[in-house]
């Protein structure tokens, strides 16, 4: 058996609809665990169905943290999420609870396990200025500006990667230092006292896409439309982070009479399929784990992961 000097935290990663939450719940019940959300959309309140948050029954079976805690307009950076997760990890360590960190936002998981480079928070006025500049000159020309003041970072960017191009532009114009210089700085570690044991669920893609389609239909039956209508009634802008939930904008278009429900669901299925493909590609290249399971959650998966955890003297 492995003998570790550090505390152990379990990371359960995988694409949407792969069964991560079910596996986390079973393990939490078996090992006196606390489930910590690492899905950027499940952080938001008033969208529990469309974001596939655990059910009320699940919440009763085990302790869940970081679900439905943020208002829809609040942006949650990886650094902010890591700070919240770090506080819960410290509580788990003090109370001898096993942390089970699960979600499909790979960058959150990678940041927690490997740390983040120290870049300052960007004020809203600078972010608004960045957006305005992008609209004024177009993304291609914004990329050329980034090439001018930060050629090193530009080599790592793709011309269509709007989010990362705008990030490089805003960091330079706020701090006067290129993002590449910031990224060369030592990383900030959020949980150095923990050893992370990563499990990756990677079901066959075609079966995964079918399951995602079926889950979307169930979401509509369970009240996803009412959730999106509530966001619209509250005048939450479509640019708000909560509208990044798969299908939120498309269902909003339906509710506002812009498209049919059939078209909204068709569009949602398409963006969900594309998102799953991106997730699988990202996890394959970015998540270092010896425990890859090429299947959905099932009893055999639970027993296998249970045995792995026991090997670590937990």
Instruction: Enumerate the known binding-site residues for substrate.
Output: 16-21
Q: How far apart, in whole angstroms, are the C-alpha atoms of residue 262 and residue 270?
A: 12
Q: How far apart, in whole angstroms, are the C-alpha atoms of residue 309 and residue 314?
A: 6
Tell me the two tokens of residue 86. 């770090």
Asked whether 14 and 284 are in contact (CB, 8 A), the reply is no
Residue 190 gets which letter from DSSP? S
Asked whether 237 and 74 are in contact (CB, 8 A), the reply is no
How open is the CA angle 26-29-31, to the nearest 5 degrees?
A: 105
Query: Which residues line the annotated binding site?
Result: 14-21
Query: Which residues line the annotated binding site for ATP?
Result: 14-21
E runs forming strands in 145-258: 194-201
Of 103, 104, 48, the closest CA to residue 72 belongs to: 48
Q: Rounded to the nearest 10 degrees, what angle do helices 139-149 and 162-175 cross at? A: 50
Of 68, 81, 70, the closest CA to residue 110 belongs to: 81
């Amino acid at each position: 058996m492995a003998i570790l000097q550090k505390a152990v935290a379990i990371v359960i990663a995988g694409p949407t609809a792969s069964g991560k939450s079910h596996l986390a719940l079973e393990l939490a019940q078996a090992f006196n665990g606390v489930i910590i959300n690492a899905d950027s959309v499940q952080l938001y309140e008033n969208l529990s169905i469309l974001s596939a948050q655990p059910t009320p029954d699940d919440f009763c079976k085990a302790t869940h943290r970081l679900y439905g805690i943020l208002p829809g307009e609040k942006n949650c950076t990886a650094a902010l999420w890591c700070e919240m997760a770090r506080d819960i990890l410290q509580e788990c360590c003090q109370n001898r609870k096993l942390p089970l960190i699960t979600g499909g936002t790979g960058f959150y998981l990678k940041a927690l396990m490997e740390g983040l480079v120290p870049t300052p928070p960007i004020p809203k006025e600078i972010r608004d200025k960045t957006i305005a500049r992008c609209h004024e000159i177009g993304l291609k020309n914004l990329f050329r500006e980034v090439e001018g003041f930060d050629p090193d970072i530009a080599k790592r960017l793709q011309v269509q990667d709007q989010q990362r191009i705008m990030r490089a532009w805003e960091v330079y114009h706020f701090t006067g230092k290129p993002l590449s210089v910031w990224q060369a700085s030592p990383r900030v570690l959020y949980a150095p006292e923990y050893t992370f044991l990563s499990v990756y669920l990677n079901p066959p893609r075609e079966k995964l896409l079918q399951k995602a389609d079926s889950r979307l239909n169930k979401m509509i039956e369970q009240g996803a439309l009412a959730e999106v209508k509530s966001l619209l009634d509250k005048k939450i802008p479509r640019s708000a982070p909560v509208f990044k939930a798969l299908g939120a904008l498309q269902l909003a278009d339906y509710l506002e009479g812009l498209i049919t429900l059939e078209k909204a669901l068709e569009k949602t299925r398409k963006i969900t399929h594309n998102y799953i493909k991106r997730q699988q590609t990202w996890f394959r290249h970015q998540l270092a784990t010896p425990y890859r399971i090429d299947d959905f959650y099932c009893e055999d998966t639970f027993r296998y992961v249970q045995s792995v955890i026991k090997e670590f003297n937990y």
